[in-house]
Structure 1
Amino acid sequence: MTNQHTDSAADQRDPFADREAEKYENPIPSREFIIEALEKESNPLRLFEIARLVDVDENDEERFEALSRRLKAMVRDGQLMRNRRGAFGPLTKMDLIKGRVLGHPDGFGFVVPEDGSKDLFISDKEMHKVLHGDIVIASIAGEDRRGRREGMIVEVSERANQTILGRLNFEDGLAWVRPNNTRITQDVFVPQDGLMDAKEEQIVLVEVIHQPSMRSGPIGKIIEVLGDYMAPGMEIDSAIHDFNIPNTWSDALLAEVEYIPDEVTEADFEGRKDLRALQLVTIDGEDSKDFDDAVFAKRRKNGWRLVVAIADVSHYVKPGSELDKEAYKRGNSVYFPQRVIPMLPEKLSNGICSLNPQVDRLCMVADMSINDDGSLERSQFYQAVMNSKARLTYNQVNDILTNPQSPHRETYAELVPHLEELNGLYEVLLKAREERGALEFDTVETRIIFDESRKIESIVPVVRNDAHKLIEECMLMANVATARYLKWHKMPMVYRVHESPLEERLKNLRTFLADFSLQLGGGDEPTAHDYAAVAAQVKGKPYEHLVQTVLLRSMNQAVYQPENKGHFGLNYEHYTHFTSPIRRYPDLLIHRAICHVWTKQGPAEFYYDDAKMAEFGAHCSDTERRADEATRDAVTFLKCEFLSHRLGEEYEAVITAATNFGLFVELDSLYVEGLVHITELGDDYFHYDNARHCLKGERTGKVYRLGDRIRVQVAQVNLDERKVDLRFIGDFAAAAGAEELPSSEEEGQDEGDDQQPKKRGKKRYYRKKKRGGKGTKA
């Protein structure tokens, strides 16, 4: 059978032969062709059998050796598997799956398959072979008692942790490092000759010299001592390392930056529109340092003119440059408390690319005409040079617009009429947003106030005023105009996509809403209008926040991708990110696409095709999640440390999540979350109802669900695991309007299946409120 296939395979044309011929003087069959040929075989093949199959002569030593190296590389990259007989076969034919290990703080883990199929559960015993982040080949061993696919690690293709950051411990003459990353549950043993004079309890960086196996754990040597465990700023250093956030600039990049001027030159003006006389202003937070957007609005006879000027980063960061490579690797800026890891060096982010006041800057402009009903009539895009007339803050603008006696009205007297024009446009856009049915939930964002020792002094809510919303609406309009513009020109691009909720989540959501006599319209495909209608029905009710929270959790996470599937939450058919190229790589890609259109070239001549945009989109979606997880980890540690000094104190709290092992609650006034374990709730069997987001007592019928208020005491804080354990004191009987909550104890209500929460549910005992930034994270 093999010979028969050999002849047919050799006769077939390798579809990637031309590509291979361009790369090599003596080309061999492509990886794609080898996999296709092997998939037609009934058994794995040895090297010489594959050579005959793909028409490589064994006597041609150079090509035969090249084929051998290619097969080994394909094994290394997880495209093929080599069995004990030395024969090669595709993973799909050998019932093997390649994926990334996702560790869990409790010791078990999952393999997230590259092909997008369901995750494999990995027992704590199997997890001894690997560490969080490793790329592995796994086999399906069957199903566990909960019906999940269970896997076994067959081979590790790529080790993700060459170094590990953690705290040094000593006991009985032995030394080990406990990783800061709670997803890595194996301690790293350090021999005496690898201690580098480090002291106990210090945070150290360990080089892993022996990766874990079934027989032994990881072994390493200390290569750097970062400092004491509780040193100020150590939580950020730890998060940067644990989440692999790039935070250093290469020598090659710094050399490239040296050639970038500090000021705009006359030569840069060529071909640009001069907008320096236009009353463009930036409006940002008090502590912002990089200003990438400026706005101007003017009332017209039948509508408005809105000009959104964005820093022209693409003029300085060229495709393939060291700056571009590093910006892509970072994907976005990362905002920690009092510290930023920027996507671009400070010379660009805070200097030549930042739209600082009273200096000339290069910009890309979305110049839009908006009808009186708030709809986009037409838009044009062009390169320009501008000069910001003022660096304003949200609070200043809000005070100017709402307080006739504001001292800022005198300071910025020349700009007040223009700000009032902007506000008039905002009111029109806000009305259009409401009519469109775009979702807007009232969530509390917080800001950490530090003392002189960089310890938390207080945690305060951040109030979004109308100036925040004004800028948000202007940016949304510019993003929509950009998406429409590039779609019209059929350019490869990354959309900002927010897909409709999944069927299972919709089912659970409707079950939950039924307890409140609420219905979600839209059938199998509800729109943002349908969601907004539910939110409107509970406006002002005691359970408004509860319903809003469940509505929000039923939705998907927004991602970057070239396939346009619309933006569910904003209810836009076309949407992308154009307005923040200083801090988001997708915006830089969009700017390059716009520039390409200006040069009158077709999509085929663009730097990137749809396949490349898909790669960019997936990467940038990952770096966005990485930034969220890293900042959440750092803030969680800070909040745990803050609460560790308040053991025994009692607080009123609101339930923010229910699981089968207890309740997560947020402490009033502190905005810190912790866990009330299920055993704290009294002498009863409590069962978790996933659809209704609650715990229900089997004997008493007592129900605890999202939004309920209780009283708790701080019992224990574990800084290493980022856990806050709370003792249940009692129900908060004085909760205003509590008696108005609809009962969830109607006849026939399910009691839940008392199962563990899904893998992608609660990973830590804290969740950081998302940074508001400019407008929204839409």
Structure 2
Amino acid sequence: MELNHILEERKEKLLGYITSEEYIPLKRREIRQMLSVPDGDKEIFEGLLGELIAEGKVVETKKGKLMAPKALNMSTGVFTGHAKGFGFVTPDEGGADIFIPANETASAMQKDRVLYKVINQGEGDKKADGVIIKVLERGIVRVVGLYEQSKGFGFVIADDKKFAKDIFIAKENAKGAVSGHKVVVEIISYGEERRNPEGKIVEILGHVNDPGVDILSVIRRFDLAIEFPEKVYQEIEKQATEVLEKDKEGREDFRSLLTITIDGEDAKDLDDAVSLTKMENGNYWLGVHIADVTHYVREHTALDQEAYARGTSVYLVDRVIPMLPHKLSNGICSLNPETDRLTLSCMMEIDPKGNVVSHKICESMIYSDFRMTYTAVREIIEDKTPELLEKYAEIVPMLTLMNELRQILGEKRMKRGSVNFDLPESKIILDERGKPIEIRPYERSIATNLIEEFMLVCNETVAENAFWQEIPFMYRTHLEPDEEKLKKMEQFIRGFGYHLKKKDGEIHPREIQRVLQEAEGTEQERIITRMVLRSMMQARYAADNLGHFGLAAKYYCHFTSPIRRYPDLQIHRLLKKMLHGELGETQTREYHKKMPDMALHCSRRERIADEAERDTEQLKKVEFMSDKIGQVFQGIISGVTNWGIYVELPNTIEGMVSLAMLDDDYYEFNDKSMMVFGKRTGKSYRLGDKVTVVVAKVSKELGTIDFLFEEEE
């Protein structure tokens, strides 16, 4: 460990020297002389220099001189490919993506880390463009795709369409695959400009039409771990299935408090429970009780390391890939009804205006009296269903009180400018063979909103508490919208008669909320919401409190789902250390140092989970439409591009009408008004328009649904 530390110091010194302002480009030998490197350390010097060159921190010119990339107007970033061969580089230092033409990619492929140079700076709406100088690190080692047999060899067409080239498979590397097999390929050669990459098949997943192969392909493509390592199973082998008496010591006992969980019908990992009473002073005493997962997932264990590596549970259409083994996630950690459970509680006194006037965070234990569903709670509060009112008579008064507080908290949030994005999510029903039999928008109701409001106020309270305690922490941040995207969005909504007011050149989230409220109930509601959402930055985790723009919150974190999200689990760990007085100066410094990397890792894992979930949904949507060729549907235009018009159906399925298929005129795309118009007829199609479409073609291989506009009679 000491030797590694010394080598790192030498490496930093070498880098510091080459990147200093006084540095003149020198050859290796000259640098060794300048730094007085002994002959005996020549090999170490070359190794350190090689690492810096491989990382893109130092560039060796054709004349053998070493320079910092910035001196040559070069930078590093991650390449995102496109099916047509071109791509974009996302700079490591942040900022807008750089466009890379197809003939300047230097054999870079999807997710490669590259050294690039900007050739033309972007102006206005036009992106800067550049060339890739060198691939520093390959981002993809294995590819999932469809195998096609040819004479004496085969090739694999990658599922990820951003992987532009087919992969050549020599006969001896085919592992007996036949045309139509979905396979996992290990790349053995990345090829060059004019040569395709070469690979060997390491796993045959099954035939493309076999049940379950589609989802398995996505699991392999995103490298999602289904099984847990043996070490993890060994660690939890003797884990008790009920709370031990010794574990209850020193905790606040809330078991006599009427407490319930409210979740979806099929939820098995219940990590939050709620309680509510009215105080003598007229205030509300809200308890949000969260599973104390850290009691069972100890720091630095194999279980903890695996949970961190996964970062989050992944909810695919036909299964959940959990962050924690089922013995914990559905067992001892889950707040199952009529059983004692260990929790971390946030008890909040809330006044009639929705202000949290006092709070307490403590280690606790609860006894969940009822396992309620969103459907049952909605029917009790809204429909007053007699059978349910009788069955749950014990908690009806509390549910009525909860609905009262829900409205107060919601109104307070709306007054300060919190933005609600109510785009419908998809609910996909599968049969026993995994075939989609129904797709509809996921139902949101008073019950889902109730839990949402309670979790939001809890997360804000915990985050503010941590901020003022000045402890190492992981916040959930959402930055202000990108200026360029905001400009486009403003331009677009102006066409519908909506305007955003600015103050000192800035937009408060309250203005965005106002526009969404004005659009509510109109035909354009979904499209206005979608455009506003597209202009927003993605929420992420951060070690610093940067606020949450969308919620108009100064402080925000994820505290309420430690069974399925690692950031929540880590926050619990830090809060418990604070409660026990275990955050000394040394430990605080260590946590502060590693928190940015943890936040970055958790953000990346969240993105991967989101992509995998979206991909499996799209697979099932395509499969659902595959037998509906020729059928007619009503929809609204949800996207307009220079290659096609996207139409979304009421059931959330989206397809495209290709401009090439519009043969009644020559159509052009206007990106400022987000519309397509015919040059001869003046006929136009714009975002939000209601249209009638016919299903023309469905491709499982490409994952696409093609529509045609129904001809007018």
User: Could you tell me the TM-score, scaled by structure 2's length?
Assistant: 0.94
- Deviation (angstroms), 1:274: 1.4
Q: Name the counterpart of 2:669.
A: 688
1:371 paired residue among 351, 368, 380? 351
Q: Name the counterpart of 2:285.
A: 305
2:365 paired residue among 385, 393, 401? 385
1:655 paired residue among 620, 637, 654? 637
Say if 1:126 and 1:214, in contact at 8 Å, map to a contact too. Answer: no
CA distance in 2: counterparts of 1:307 and 1:185, whole angstroms:
53
Residues 25 and 186 (structure 1), Cα distance of their counterparts in 2 relative to 1, 3 Å cut: closer
Gaps of 5+ in 1: 1-19, 734-778
- Deviation (angstroms), 1:549: 2.9
1:353 paired residue among 333, 336, 339? 333
Moved more, 112-121 or 283-292: 112-121
Moved more, 436-445 or 703-712: 436-445
1:447 paired residue among 422, 427, 430? 427
Task: Give the 5 Å matches for 1:623-772.
Answer: 623-668=605-650, 670-730=651-711
1:617 paired residue among 596, 599, 609? 599
Q: Name the counterpart of 2:577.
A: 596
1:527 matched to 2:505: no
1:250 matched to 2:229: yes
Q: Partner amino acid for 1:406?
A: P
Residues 535 and 320 (structure 1), Cα distance of their counterparts in 2 relative to 1, 3 Å cut: same
- Deviation (angstroms), 1:290: 0.3
- Deviation (angstroms), 1:239: 1.4
Residues 140 and 572 (structure 1), Cα distance of their counterparts in 2 relative to 1, 3 Å cut: closer
1:82 matched to 2:60: yes
Moved more, 311-320 or 48-57: 48-57
Moved more, 430-439 or 197-206: 430-439
- Deviation (angstroms), 1:205: 1.5
Q: Name the counterpart of 2:155.
A: 176
CA distance in 2: counterparts of 1:255 and 1:678, whole angstroms:
58
Q: Name the counterpart of 2:254.
A: 275
Residues 95 and 526 (structure 1), Cα distance of their counterparts in 2 relative to 1, 3 Å cut: closer
CA distance in 2: counterparts of 1:441 and 1:175, whole angstroms:
47
Residues 528 and 115 (structure 1), Cα distance of their counterparts in 2 relative to 1, 3 Å cut: closer
Q: Name the counterpart of 1:120.
A: 98
Task: Give the 5 Å matches for 1:424-573.
Answer: 424-523=404-503, 524-573=505-554
Give the secondary structure class of the aligned counterpart of 2:70.
coil
Say if 1:509 and 1:691, in contact at 8 Å, map to a contact too. Answer: no
Q: Name the counterpart of 1:417.
A: 397
Q: Partner amino acid for 2:149?
A: F
- Deviation (angstroms), 1:143: 6.7
- Deviation (angstroms), 1:578: 0.5
- Deviation (angstroms), 1:84: 4.4
Q: Name the counterpart of 2:561.
A: 580
CA distance in 1: counterparts of 2:474 and 2:6, whole angstroms:
38
CA distance in 2: counterparts of 1:126 and 1:241, whole angstroms:
30
Residues 172 and 290 (structure 1), Cα distance of their counterparts in 2 relative to 1, 3 Å cut: same
1:34 matched to 2:43: no
Residues 536 and 206 (structure 1), Cα distance of their counterparts in 2 relative to 1, 3 Å cut: closer
CA distance in 1: counterparts of 2:358 and 2:448, whole angstroms:
25
- Deviation (angstroms), 1:692: 2.8
Say if 1:593 and 1:606, in contact at 8 Å, map to a contact too. Answer: no
Moved more, 591-600 or 401-410: 401-410
Q: Partner amino acid for 1:415?
A: I
Residues 257 and 89 (structure 1), Cα distance of their counterparts in 2 relative to 1, 3 Å cut: farther
Q: Name the counterpart of 1:135.
A: 113
Give the secondary structure class of the aligned counterpart of 2:706.
strand
- Deviation (angstroms), 1:93: 2.3
Say if 2:79 and 2:90, in contact at 8 Å, map to a contact too. Answer: yes
Moved more, 530-539 or 654-663: 530-539
Say if 2:467 and 2:545, in contact at 8 Å, map to a contact too. Answer: no
Residues 86 and 260 (structure 1), Cα distance of their counterparts in 2 relative to 1, 3 Å cut: farther
Q: Displaced runs of 4+ in structure 1, greater than 6 A? A: 143-146
Residues 110 and 379 (structure 1), Cα distance of their counterparts in 2 relative to 1, 3 Å cut: same
Say if 1:710 and 1:730, in contact at 8 Å, map to a contact too. Answer: no
- Deviation (angstroms), 1:35: 1.6
- Deviation (angstroms), 1:277: 1.8
- Deviation (angstroms), 1:606: 2.6
CA distance in 1: counterparts of 2:52 and 2:484, whole angstroms:
38
CA distance in 2: counterparts of 1:126 and 1:139, whole angstroms:
10
- Deviation (angstroms), 1:208: 1.7
Residues 25 and 390 (structure 1), Cα distance of their counterparts in 2 relative to 1, 3 Å cut: closer
Residues 120 and 546 (structure 1), Cα distance of their counterparts in 2 relative to 1, 3 Å cut: closer
Q: Partner amino acid for 1:545?
A: R
Q: Partner amino acid for 1:111?
A: V
1:337 matched to 2:317: yes
- Deviation (angstroms), 1:467: 0.8
Gaps of 5+ in 2: none
Aligned residues: 708
Q: Partner amino acid for 2:497?
A: S
2:196 paired residue among 192, 217, 223? 217
Say if 1:498 and 1:556, in contact at 8 Å, map to a contact too. Answer: yes
2:171 paired residue among 182, 189, 192? 192
Residues 24 and 171 (structure 1), Cα distance of their counterparts in 2 relative to 1, 3 Å cut: closer
CA distance in 2: counterparts of 1:493 and 1:25, whole angstroms:
27
1:152 matched to 2:131: yes
CA RMSD of aligned residues (A): 2.4
Q: Name the counterpart of 1:328.
A: 308
Say if 1:78 and 1:98, in contact at 8 Å, map to a contact too. Answer: yes
Give the secondary structure class of the aligned counterpart of 1:356.
coil
Moved more, 41-50 or 195-204: 41-50
CA distance in 2: counterparts of 1:657 and 1:519, whole angstroms:
21
- Deviation (angstroms), 1:646: 1.5
Q: Deviations over 1:162-192 (max 9, x none)?
A: 2221111112333111111211121111111
CA distance in 2: counterparts of 1:573 and 1:39, whole angstroms:
38
Q: Name the counterpart of 1:12.
A: none
CA distance in 1: counterparts of 2:554 and 2:404, whole angstroms:
25
CA distance in 2: counterparts of 1:348 and 1:47, whole angstroms:
56
Give the secondary structure class of the aligned counterpart of 2:627.
helix
Residues 548 and 188 (structure 1), Cα distance of their counterparts in 2 relative to 1, 3 Å cut: closer
Q: Deviations over 1:114-163 (max 9, x none)?
A: 12243332333344723211222233455799954333333322222222
Moved more, 482-491 or 123-132: 123-132
Residues 45 and 236 (structure 1), Cα distance of their counterparts in 2 relative to 1, 3 Å cut: farther
Give the secondary structure class of the aligned counterpart of 1:633.
helix
Residues 395 and 438 (structure 1), Cα distance of their counterparts in 2 relative to 1, 3 Å cut: same
CA distance in 1: counterparts of 2:710 and 2:394, whole angstroms:
58
Task: Give the 5 Å matches for 1:259-270.
Answer: 259-270=238-249
Q: Name the counterpart of 1:395.
A: 375
CA distance in 2: counterparts of 1:396 and 1:575, whole angstroms:
30
Say if 2:337 and 2:367, in contact at 8 Å, map to a contact too. Answer: yes
Moved more, 81-90 or 321-330: 81-90
- Deviation (angstroms), 1:551: 2.6
Q: Once the two structures are aligned, what percentage of the paired residues are identical?
A: 36
Give the secondary structure class of the aligned counterpart of 2:626.
helix
Q: Deviations over 1:542-591 (max 9, x none)?
A: 33333333333222221111232322221211111110111111111211
Say if 1:203 and 1:225, in contact at 8 Å, map to a contact too. Answer: yes
